[in-house]
Amino acid sequence: MFEEYRGISRETIYVICSGIMPGAALGMFLADLPYFLTKIYGLTDVFMGTIIFVMGLSMVVTSIPFGMLSDRYGRKNMLMSSNLIFSLVIFIFAVTDNPVILLTAAALSGISEAASSASSNALLADKAGSTKRTPAFALAYFSFSIALGIGSFSIPLVSAFETLGYGEAGAHTALYLLFSVLSFASTAFLLRVNETQAGLKRGGVRETVTIRSKGVLARYTLAGAIIAFGAGMVVPLMTRWFYLQYGILDTVSGPVIGVSDVLIGFATLAAPRIAARFGTVRAIVLTQGMSTLFMFWVPLSPDFFLASVVYTVRSFMMNMSSPLSQSMLMGIVPEEERGIASSITSALWRLPNSFSSIVGAWLFGLGLLSTPFFVAGILYIASIALFWKFFNGVKLAGDN
């Protein structure tokens, strides 16, 4: 299984390593933010929700401009800026509870995410080359998933800081500052990466905003948006569903989801071998199709243990396709449009995914606890069918 990973370039490894500590910081930040804002700072749930909304809105609004800038002026500096901005965001949340400043930091968080989506995949694809692109993306997804899990599991470090004499608020501040520093320091890996102008766009404003691969992006985004809408009805709401369905508290279901993130990371390591065996497009359809079967099974599980196992299997089967689909996208669009391609697909995945969470929560409120899973499964099937129709003829380097 690991044969495909031999020969990945050193600069590719540097790009991957540069995202590990920001990934861990993100895992901690997203897991702890609702508690931190409401319990530690005493802010309202409405304001907490507004912070999260501003993060997403800022990301969507700035994604496409950043994608164009990435393709025109380079990916390395943009990715470095993304890491530095996110480190600053963590620092700001650690040191102030001023609502205006926190809203500004939330907007900066979305800008950082947009800059990362515009540059990270494109830079990784540039450095990996066509033959090692899929293993590089699988390794990156593995590293990032493990980092997210570690970040989530790091929150109990608050107790360790409290034993050193910090109060609860001070201990949380220390944790945030620690991850801010580590995320900032990881940017040094990118200083070892060289970027040339070979794969960038030439010309003026007209050439910069022209997208030659718009037809491919429209098809790819349509399939992705359908599956994103289905996923949003279920995936962000699982701790709530476990409580409503089985009476399980988030102190139990939360770590289960953390374990799922870690297992997802290990599952992605098998993605290149599956792609080499079946072809990239067939591998994507196969893993997403298997995930859909488990999506239907989750609400039929008689107890929490079986439901959590089925959900975990669903998660790593679905996410095993993520590095494959990203690698495919980077392979079928022109090299000088990789930034805008990544930005558009990320933004138009985020929008329906965020909106459908409201629909899923509404159905939960009506007591229709199984319905979101069945609707999501049907949407998965529609997305997979469209994806196969659009891309079944695509063949990438390394496919049989």
- Least Cα distance to 79 among 257, 338, 288, 355 occurs for 338
What is the model's pLDDT at position 43?
A: 86
Q: What pTM does this model have?
A: 0.81
83/106 Cα distance (integer angstroms):
15
- Reading the block at residue 107, the tokens are 């907007």
In this chain, the answer to whether the domains covering 1-191 and 209-400 adopt an identical fold is yes
37/42 Cα distance (integer angstroms):
6
Measure the CA dihedral 22/141/193/188, to 10°.
20
Q: Would you kindly state where each structural domain of the chain is located, as residue ranges? A: 1-191, 209-400
322/6 Cα distance (integer angstroms):
21
pLDDT (tens, 9 = 90+) of the chain, 400 residues, equals: 567 788 899 999 999 999 999 999 998 888 788 778 888 898 887 888 788 888 888 998 999 899 888 888 888 999 999 999 999 999 999 999 999 999 999 999 999 999 998 899 889 988 988 888 889 998 998 898 888 888 877 888 888 898 998 898 999 999 999 999 999 999 999 999 998 766 666 655 666 666 777 888 999 999 999 999 999 888 877 877 888 899 887 657 767 777 777 777 787 888 888 888 888 899 999 999 999 999 999 999 999 999 999 998 898 888 888 888 988 998 888 888 888 888 888 888 888 887 787 888 888 888 899 999 999 999 999 999 999 999 998 877 666 6
Q: Considering Cα of 391, then 393, then 398, then 400, what sign does the dihedral take?
A: positive
370/279 Cα distance (integer angstroms):
34
Residue 166 to residues 5, 159, 160, 171, 175: CA-CA distances in angstroms? 44, 9, 9, 5, 11
- Least Cα distance to 205 among 61, 115, 344, 71 occurs for 71
336/339 Cα distance (integer angstroms):
8
What is the model's pLDDT at position 397?
A: 65
Domain range 209-400, CATH architecture: Up-down Bundle (1.20)
CA contacts within 13 A on the Cβ side of 289: 11
- Least Cα distance to 196 among 123, 120, 118 occurs for 123
Superfamily holding 1-191: MFS general substrate transporter like domains (1.20.1250.20)
19/33 Cα distance (integer angstroms):
20
93/99 Cα distance (integer angstroms):
10
168/41 Cα distance (integer angstroms):
11
